[in-house]
Amino acid sequence: MNRYMFNKFNEELVRIDSIILLAGCLSRTNINIPDKLREFLEETDFEVISRCFSNDLPEHIREEYQNGNPDIECIIDSLIDSEKLGFLIQVSTPTCYPGERVSWFRYRTKWFYGQDLDFLIEIGFKWAAEQKKEMQTKPIDTQP
């Protein structure tokens, strides 16, 4: 299984930058969460966070993000209350236009949340395939 996954990640040019099991990170009594989760909650755009969690976050959390002062403890409580205790993963794939050599110098990332890690990995592969297809069909004048 591990060799199969290794080969698939390399053939499909996909990597997982982060895997966070929320059930093992969240607590109502200790808000000392792992740095990667804190970074996600503090620095990621609210729309991305909201999409990850199926738009289940309360409206006041959106307002806190818009004011530039998200309350991490409140977000943690909301995730626990709504039983968002599964996996949060960050998937990456290189950005490569037609005629360019594939390189990890430029890449795209996307966060996904779900209860089943294998399912999330498959979603990550599908997303990466969509990104590759989009890059191959972009007209030359829209390339950076």
Whether the pLDDT of residue 2 is over 90: the answer is no
- pLDDT category of residue 103 using cuts at 50, 70 and 90: confident
- pLDDT category of residue 140 using cuts at 50, 70 and 90: low
| pTM of the entire predicted model | 0.86
Cα dist from 14 to 8, 88, 107, 116, whole Å: 8, 16, 10, 18
For every residue of 25-49, DSSP letters joined together read: T--SS-----HHHHHHHHHS-HHHH
- Give the range with max mean pLDDT: 70-74, 87-91, 129-133: 87-91
Residue 99 CA to residue 78 CA, distance in Å, equals 46
Residue 111 CA to residue 2 CA, distance in Å, equals 23
Q: Tally the domains of the chain.
A: 1
Instruction: Domain of residue 65: give its range.
Output: 2-142
- pLDDT category of residue 68 using cuts at 50, 70 and 90: confident
Q: In the prediction, which pLDDT does 120 show?
A: 96
Residue 44 CA to residue 57 CA, distance in Å, equals 14
